[in-house]
Structure 1
Amino acid sequence: MRTRRVRAGTRLRCAAVMLTAGLFVAGCGGGDEQVAGLSDAIGATSDINPTPTDALREGGNLRLATTDYPANWNVLSNDGNNGEIGEIVRTMLPRSYKIDAAGELSVDTDYFTDITLTSTDPMRVTYTINPKAVWSDGSPITWEDLAAQAHALSGRDKSYLIAITNGFEFVDKVERGTDDRQAVLSFSKPYADWRGQFSGNSTLYPKSVTGTPEAFNASLADAISLTAGPFIVSATDRGQGRITLGRNPKWWGAKPVLDTITYSVLDRTSWVAALQNNEIDLVRLSTIDDVKTVRGTDGLVVRRAPGNRWRHITFNGAPGSILEDPALRVAVSKAIDRQGIANAIQNGLVENPQPLNNHVFVQGQKGYQDNSLGFDPTAAAKELDALGWKLTGDVREKDGRKLVIRDVMYNDPIWVQVAQIIQQNLAAIGVSLTIDTKPAAGLFTDVIQPGDFDAAQYAYQGDPFPLSSIRQIYYYDPTDLQSNYGRIGSPELNALIERTLSELNPENSIDLANQVDRKVFEEGHSLPLTQDAGNFGARTTLANIGSPGLATYDYTKIGFVK
């Protein structure tokens, strides 16, 4: 569940595999310190210290970390398509479904009393809104909010700088149902992942945000306005890097246990120390040293469920780029030892480090299979020779141009470690890789989105809707890039994506999605690297939050044991 779907390196995706938010820090570890590895039960477990609310202390402040202040609080926009922003707004905005540890869906009755596929030919979905549901100013949530968001994400008006269409390109119209509290979506063609349209990473915003391109693109650049969750923003301090959420006085659902949630901007490398020093209460762990630190500190515990994030490297195929030629990208990708990368960064964190070999599904998820082209540096060298890139000294050249690739990433040890491994791999076939690290602030808005890279490393965060993101990331429309920052694609891949998204039979859609995945490899679009181990460090007293796997949190139940 693009999971993927990141500040400083993680982008939201709407897929059941996606990963997003925060960066991972580098490290290798020894065998006897290993954490239980990824299992075939991925998506079926979570580790959140489940505790009845009557056993929790009333009130309290949950302290969390984020790597940067939000560039835009609208996660549906390109600037706001960031996993850490998504985690913050998830406490405050409606979603259509709750998701359990097995990835199973149930209607979130705080917001909708019923969601039904009422017709398949033509396809119609009817949303009935909870009559108690209101925005934070007391105004009702109505069908017009759903209609405005459907229009904004349809892609028909290019003035909306959207991160994902999420199937709304197939929605012909949204009409008022029996009253203002019911919306009827009519589709021009079937859409397989329709349940994810107002769920997962595609939360519902008010029509004041989605109703015009100007509001959509810029109205939440400085602060979030109307919300509709158990918490609201009660204070912000951009200079100090602090965001405080308090209880929403207009909230109609179960009373939250916590009084407040505070997010502090901290460099990712200081998160574990902040946890150890009792400055924050929950952090993601990236290295075996992180795990050992938490295990060796009184009052802390490691919580672990297989993660829904994954790292990757995206190539830039835009006209004029050094990697414009698909055959060149494929040759380069074959020379990258992804198993070596997995061994280096996950030894000690999982029992059997493995690369991720699929762009759509994660390991252990139904549909996952290895569609990769494999690690074959000998073949890569021969293909480069055939393409006219001849070895001159240590670096290949063609038409007077040296084969030098600039790899851009967040300035974080694990990304640099991955880049150094790739650098060594490519040097063996006469390709030079330059490592270009960037700060978190502006990484996506100023570097990745404009295409200021030859290769880029970041992560995706997902949810249980694995098909939603394939158009967002792998469909190529030069007038509507969404998250295809590498500007890579083909008419054949576009057509295959369309077929996949319109297939309502689950088995057929899985087969088509794997054909999409293979084609993405063959285009040299990007390389998945590793799936997140899912380790978190938490206070032993913290309950109903931790390592969720595919599950969503119930923010009204999070708190501290008595």
Structure 2
Amino acid sequence: MSHDGVGPRAVKRSVAFLTASALAVPALAGCGSDDPAGKPLAAGDVARADRARIADGGTLRWAVDTVPDTLNTFQSDADATTSRIAQAVLPSMYRTDSRGRPVRNPDYLESAEVVETEPKQVVLYRLNQQAVWSDGREIGAADFAAQWRALSGKDTAYWTARNAGYDRIEKIERGKGDLEVKVTFSRPYADWRSLFTPLYPKEVMGTPDSFNDGARKKLKVTAGPFRVKKVDGKKDEVTLTRNARWWGDPAKLSTIVLRAVPRDKRISALSAGTVDLAEIDPAAARRITVAALPQSASSPLMGPGARRSVADALRSWAIANGSDEEAADEEISARQKLRRKAAKYARQQKALAGFEVRKSLEPAYTQLALNGAEGPLADERVRRALARALDRRDIAEAVLKPLGLPAEPLGSHLALSGQAAYADNSGALGRQDTEEARALLADAGWVPGGPVKKKDDEAKDEAEKAAGPEGEENDGSGQDSDGDSGDESEGGDDGTYIVGEDDDAADADADEADADDDSGDEGDSGDSGDDDKAPQDSGTGSRPLHRGSAPGAYAPKGTAAPARAEAAPVAKDGRALTLRFVLPSGPGSDTLRTVADRISRMLERIGIRTEISKVDDESYFKDHIASGAYDLALYSWPATAFPATDARPVYAKPVPAADGSLNVEQNYTRVGTDQVDQLFDQAVTTLDDSERRDLLRKADARIWAAAGSIPLYQRPQLTAARKDLANAGAFGFRTPVYEDMGFLKKSAQGPTGTPGRN
């Protein structure tokens, strides 16, 4: 899962995306000007090179987030590294192309087609006659059947995380020959191409014991260009080596080492030469870009002390040479630490000159989630008002424009630009319109300048309610049923408003604080947690939510409203509309905090206040998003080639479970409709590609109208790569071709060692 890294279609949809996203829809319509699917906003950036230019052998050290707990992608604790390994060592019937659309993988599959639709759907697979497992056995119907039985959901002894599609299969038979597999479905299934990717051998899928435990740390039998040599938990790495029985183009690399490196340590790992390829954040990308520039007097000032002015230096010298011995000792020590930090930074920058940043857009998107289970956001009018207040283009530009990537707001919940199901359906909700947003709030009873109860009054109301219905009864309409932890005293007395720091002052304070941080002690050895960003880069912590003069100043009772009266807080039944905005606090969350700050300011314009709550990364998803302990949140979903199957649990209407709880599946906004469910159900049984796309686009339009989640932008994909590494980097939509990765021959390298791009 990723908050702005790998999305929480953790466990189910992330697995579906990373393992089955390389799946296919043949006979797709062309992407002409009248095709709403459009084209991908950015191409992959992998430094493409012909195999003839790549040296034979070598080890690629690839930074990953984790060493996986399991090598079985169909288990609940599988992660992105599990899927990456599966792509390199196991059969995949389909893979994704550069447009995010699935295509047949000829290394395993000569053809696959629906040969019957009545009385039942039948798909005939014709396998590549050279396709064999690493033990020499042919890949065949027995492997398909074993995987179906394990994932059908009929045998609960198999601890499976997902069985979508497999539960619709009635039987699997051998065709006319050993290379044919005939799959008969009990119910029509449009996304049949999502199945058997990856395909595990019958030795793994054949029994519950082998499925549950046998493939967690070992895969004895594989069928890809690489095989799993070792999973080393102590070294936090997985080693893949060439598969001697691979029948396709032989792998150029002899070894791939997937090494777990925390995101905030990757600059250190790259500069130390312990990894060759790593996904990085924007701050690390800036460091690598600057390192590659010719060093001159005009080079950007970066590193420890870069922001220190002449006056700062003179003041430091004066203290270090002053009569106050204690202050002088402290200043001398601080200056020594700063010199050590600067020297370390310079060494790292010199080493980083051997790398480059390859960038694209990731097949995933960031959304704003609105928890519609209870509280103010349970009212669709409030959700729609909030959504209409957002300038999504401004948000996309803030994230993507500084990186030189296309800054287009996303128009679909179910696909990305270029994918078959994509269409911009945001018009179903309406364009950004502040006046309309205020009107929707007013219609829901939230009006600006309304009386707001003081905290003492609220406590009194609660006490009276707890004591019983004495006097006039409270109907509870003003209760903050969402458990909001906001400080509701901000509203103050009737006619009181709050003014805070203006943005320029906030920026100045942030710069000053950041400069102070630059001179902090990272220690003389080891890696700092800040290594991934240039020391002068400022963080993006929460800005004040209100503009004006003195921070937190209260105007006296009866003071006339300011010129910005239209942005006065809205209230209802004595309560201001304040929403808890939950964000992760760990390294790599700067982008999310920037986005949250912009959203908060946009909502302030229509009178909605936010209280940003930063929580630990480890608890962010499980304890807040999945449990519903938030009003607003930012997290990412991966794109999928099969939205009819993979997206349904994300947008399905929550239903009561047998134990009285609410079964939300993966719909963590708790917003859904019967109509959306029906459209998904129709789409997944519609075999005609055009009709299915129309149904999915209708479903997306209704998801927009319900305003449970607001897609914002396709996520940036930034990868640091050695300059002589070819066919690897920011892959974009395309499934990596592991056998083509490698290091350029000396004769094929340019003056800087960089392979050509095409």
Q: TM bucket by the smaller chain?
A: 0.7 to 0.9
Query: How far 1:14 sits from its partner (Å)?
Result: 7.2
Letter in 2 for 1:547: A
1:4 and 1:127, CA in 2 relative to 1: closer, same or farther beyond 3 A?
farther
Partner of 2:299: none
> Per the alignment, in what secondary structure is the counterpart of residue 48 of structure 1?
coil
Q: Distance in 2 between matches of 1:449 and 1:153?
A: 25
**Pair 380,357 (structure 1): closer, same or farther in 2 beyond 3 Å:** same
3-state SS of paired residue (2:57):
coil
Q: After alignment, is 542-551 or 148-157 more displaced?
A: 148-157
Range with greater deviation from structure 2 (40-49 or 363-372)? 40-49
Contact 1:4/1:18 (8 A) holds in 2: no
1:517 Cα deviation from its structure 2 partner: 0.8
Larger Rg: 2
Partner of 2:734: 551
Separation (CA, whole Å) in 1 of partners of 2:48 and 2:145: 37
Corresponding residue to 1:490 among 660, 664, 673? 673
1:422 paired residue among 587, 599, 605: 599
Determine whether 1:375 maps to 2:432.
Answer: yes
- Find the residue that maps to 2:648 and give its secondary structure: helix
1:300 aligns with 2:355: yes
**Distance (whole Å) between structure 2 residues aligned to residue 522 and residue 169 of structure 1:** 32
TM-score, normalised with respect to structure 1: 0.80
Structure 2 letter corresponding to 1:407: V
Distance 2:744 2:18 in 1: 29
* Aligned residue among 363, 383, 393 for 2:417: 363
State whether residues 192 and 504 of structure 1, in contact with CA within 8 Å, keep that contact through their aligned partners in structure 2: yes
Equivalent residue number for residue 89 of structure 1? 86
CA contact (8 A) 1:362 1:531 kept: yes
Shift of 1:329: 3.5
8 A Cα contact 1:272 1:290, kept in partner: no
Distance 1:289 1:171 in 2: 48
Superposition deviation, residue 493 in structure 1: 0.9
Cα separation, partners in 2 of 1:371 and 1:114, compared to 1, 3 Å: closer
Q: Indicate conservation of the 8 Å contact 2:570/2:576, yes or no.
A: no
Out of 301-310 and 146-155, give the one that drifted further.
146-155
Provide the secondary structure at the position in 2 that maps to 1:538.
strand
Q: Residue deviations 1:176-232, cap 9 Å, x none?
A: 434665432223444333323334xxx223455556778766765666665432223
Q: How far apart in 1 are the matches of 2:247 and 2:681?
A: 40
CA displacement at 1:119 relative to structure 2:
1.8
CA contact (8 A) 1:4 1:309 kept: no
Distance 1:458 1:126, change over 3 A: same
- SS of residue paired to 1:363: coil
**Aligned match for 2:73, one of 72, 75, 80:** 75
Structure 1 residues 211 and 343 mapped into 2: Cα distance closer, same or farther (>3 Å)? same
Q: CA deviation at 1:321?
A: 7.1
**Cα distance change, pair 88–180 in 1 and its aligned pair in 2 (3 A):** same
Identity of aligned residues (%): 30
Deviation at 1:494, TM superposition (A): 0.7
What is the alpha-carbon distance in structure 2 between the residues aligned to residue 155 and residue 384 of structure 1? 46
Select 2:580's aligned residue among 360, 380, 405.
405
C-alpha displacement of 1:317: 4.1
Compare 365-374 and 340-349 and name the one that shifted more. 365-374
* Structure 2 residue aligned with 1:336: 390
1:438 is matched with 616
Shift of 1:277: 4.2
Distance 2:695 2:163 in 1: 20
- 1:460-517: per-residue Cα shift (whole Å, max 9, x none)? 3335445442224223465675533444322211101112222333332222211111
CA distance in 1, matches of 2:639, 2:714: 11
Q: Secondary structure at the match of 2:424?
A: coil
CA deviation digits over 1:408-445, x for unaligned, max 9? 44622112222232333334433424333333x57656
- Distance across 2 between alignment mates of 1:117 and 1:295: 54
SS in 2 for 1:47: coil
- Taking structure 1 as reference, are residues 193 and 410 closer, same or farther at Cα in structure 2, changes over 3 Å only? farther
Counterparts in 2 of 1:461 and 1:104: CA distance versus 1, 3 Å: closer
Q: 1:321 to 1:263 in 2, by over 3 A?
A: farther
**3-state SS in 2 of match to 1:308:** strand
Residue type matched to 2:396 in 1? A
Give the Cα–Cα distance (whole angstroms) in 1 for the partners of residues 585 and 73 of structure 2: 20
For 1:25, the equivalent position in structure 2 comes to none
Who is 1:521 aligned against? 704
Aligned equivalents of 2:572 and 2:262: distance in 1? 40
SS of corresponding position for 1:74: coil
Residues 340-398 of structure 1: CA deviation (Å, up to 9, x unaligned): 32122112224652211211232344553322223334434443444355663257566
Q: What amino acid does structure 2 have at the position aligned with 1:69?
A: V
Question: Which residue matches 1:473?
Answer: 650
2:407 counterpart letter in structure 1: P
TM-score scaled to structure 2, two decimals?
0.61
SS in 1 for 2:363: coil
| Separation (CA, whole Å) in 1 of partners of 2:272 and 2:413 | 38
Is structure 2 residue 456 aligned with structure 1 residue 461? no
- Residue equivalent to 2:59: 61
The whole-number CA distance in structure 2 between the counterparts of 1:157 and 1:215 is: 14
Closer, same or farther in 2 for the Cα pair 1:114/1:352, shift >3 Å?
A: closer
Residue of structure 1 in register with 2:191 after alignment: 193
The amino acid across from 1:310 in the alignment is Y
CA distance 1:103–1:67, shift in 2 (3 Å): closer
Structure that is richer in helix per residue: 2
**8 Å CA contact retained: 2:218, 2:230:** no
Equivalent residue of 1:57, what SS? coil
Counterpart secondary structure, 1:91: helix
Give matches, 1:57-206, under 5 Å.
57-80=55-78, 82-102=79-99, 106-121=103-118, 122-130=120-128, 132-136=130-134, 141-151=139-149, 153=151, 165-178=163-176, 182-199=180-197, 203-206=198-201
Change (3 A) 1:521 1:206: farther
In structure 2, do the counterparts of structure 1 residues 45 and 8 end up closer, same or farther at CA, with 3 Å as the change threshold? closer
- Alpha-carbon shift at residue 135 of structure 1 (Å): 4.5
Which amino acid is 1:413 matched to?
A: D
Q: Distance in 2 between matches of 1:510 and 1:159?
A: 37
For 2:155 and 2:654, the matched residues in 1 are separated by: 14
Are the aligned partners of 2:282 and 2:718 in contact in 1 as well (CA < 8 Å)?
Answer: no
Quick one: which amino acid aligns to residue 92 of structure 1? V
Q: Which has the higher strand share?
A: 1
Counterpart in the other structure of 2:338: none
Q: How far is 1:62 from its partner?
A: 0.8
Partners of 1:451 and 1:223 in 2: CA distance? 37
Q: Deviations over 1:123-143 (max 9, x none)?
A: 211223445544456665442
**Letter of the aligned partner of 2:98 in structure 1?**
A
Distance (Å, rounded) in 1 between the aligned partners of 2:689 and 2:208: 35
- Structure 1 residues 112 and 447: alpha-carbon distance in aligned structure 2, compared to 1, 3 A threshold: farther
State the aligned residue count.
536
Aligned AA (2:264): T
Q: Answer yes or no: is 1:387 the counterpart of 2:444.
A: yes
- Aligned mates of 1:400, 1:104 — CA distance in 2: 49
In structure 2, give the amino acid aligned to 1:375: Q
Gaps of 5+ in 1: 21-38
Match of 1:313 among 368, 377, 384: 368
Distance 2:645 2:239 in 1: 32
AA aligned to 2:45 is D
d(CA) in 1 for partners of 2:375 and 2:69? 28
CA distance in 1, matches of 2:623, 2:188: 36
1:346 match? 400
- Check conservation: 2:251, 2:740, Cα contact below 8 A: yes
